[in-house]
Amino acid sequence: MSTISLRNAGVSVAVDGRPDPKVLLQDISLELTEERIGVIGANGSGKSTLLRLLNGLVAPTEGTVTVNGADTVRNVRAVRQQVGFVFTDPLSQLVMPTGREDVELSLRRSVRHGKERRDKTTAALDRFGLLPLADQSIYELSGGERQLLALASVLAVEPGVLVLDEPSTLLDLRNRELLRRTLAGLSQQIVMSTHDLELALDMDRVLVVDSGRIAYDGGAAAAVGHYRSLSARSLSGGDFR
């Protein structure tokens, strides 16, 4: 498994607002080595910002983030070769008219020979049962099919780490279960934020993010229990922390 580190006196992220900056994450120190890592928390808690730190989509204001020793700011290209990122809405990352074209585009930099690239594209689509849909418009696909296509496009370049930001949000129950089974069969290290606590319970380790800090870090069942407790206290008007 890969080692993802957030360190050097803790990682923080702030937006340079005037007169006062807005702190999105504060004093995060983590070593992520487990095969399956979940991230849960309320909307606006900092989950997405934390995930985007892991492949350089967001740069830390303080501290450093590394993936297998590669700094996400100084060596962002090397990091992105190791870390694939799947967004909540697949349409935000599917940029070509069809699935076949999108997967081929993702392989263009790493696979120079056209025939080899086409063969790898076919294999990537077939792996997820998408070959019959390869030449359809992405706008004709269901939400689940688009999410699987985004996943296939990211995994085609064989990253060691897969980061997913709330991937089940737009899915119905059938496609959610399909996604769940698909993720369970992957060899990559997975870091996934989710509001689906059943998905969170599949993880080896779960981080609870609250107001830009790690409120709990541990086993899945205990972390989900802690998050439920936080949510209950918030609803009753207590201190969310």
pLDDT tens string 49-67: 999 999 999 999 999 999 9
Could you tell me which residues come within 8 angstroms of residue 218 by beta carbon, excluding any fewer than 6 positions away?
205, 206, 226
> How far, in Å, CA of 165 to CA of 210, rounded?
16
For the stretch 4-50, pLDDT in tens is 999 866 788 987 655 566 889 999 999 999 999 999 999 989 999 99
| Inter-residue contact 149 to 172 (CB < 8 Å) | no
Closest CA to 212 of 14, 61, 3: 14
Instruction: Give pLDDT, residue 187.
Output: 92
Which percentage of the chain shows pLDDT scores above 90?
69
Q: What is the dihedral of CA 208, 214, 218, 224, to 10 degrees?
A: -20
Output the domain CATH number for residue 147.
3.40.50.300
Q: Is residue 224 part of a domain?
A: yes
Q: Is residue 240 part of a domain?
A: no
Q: Is residue 241 part of a domain?
A: no
Q: Is residue 99 part of a domain?
A: yes
Specify the number of domains making up the chain: 1
Q: Is residue 181 part of a domain?
A: yes
Instruction: Give pLDDT, residue 18.
Output: 54
Q: Across the chain, what does the average pLDDT equal?
A: 90
- Band of pLDDT at residue 241, cut at 50, 70 and 90: very low
Instruction: Determine which of 39-43, 213-217, 232-236 has the lowest per-residue pLDDT on average.
Output: 232-236
Residue 238 has pLDDT above 60, yes or no: no
Strand partners, 238: none
For the stretch 89-121, pLDDT in tens is 999 999 999 999 999 999 988 888 889 999 999
Instruction: Give pLDDT, residue 179.
Output: 85
Q: Report the DSSP pairing between strands 83-86 and 213-218.
A: unpaired
Sheet (strand 213-218) strand order: 83-86, 161-165, 189-193, 36-41, 205-210, 213-218
Instruction: Give pLDDT, residue 105.
Output: 93
If phi over 0 gives left and psi between -120 and 50 gives alpha, with beta otherwise, what is residue 238? beta
Q: Is residue 210 part of a domain?
A: yes
State the residue range of the domain holding 162: 4-235
| Inter-residue contact 162 to 133 (CB < 8 Å) | no
Q: Which residue has the higher pLDDT, 178 or 33?
A: 33
If phi over 0 gives left and psi between -120 and 50 gives alpha, with beta otherwise, what is residue 166? left
Q: Is residue 140 part of a domain?
A: yes
Q: Is residue 60 part of a domain?
A: yes
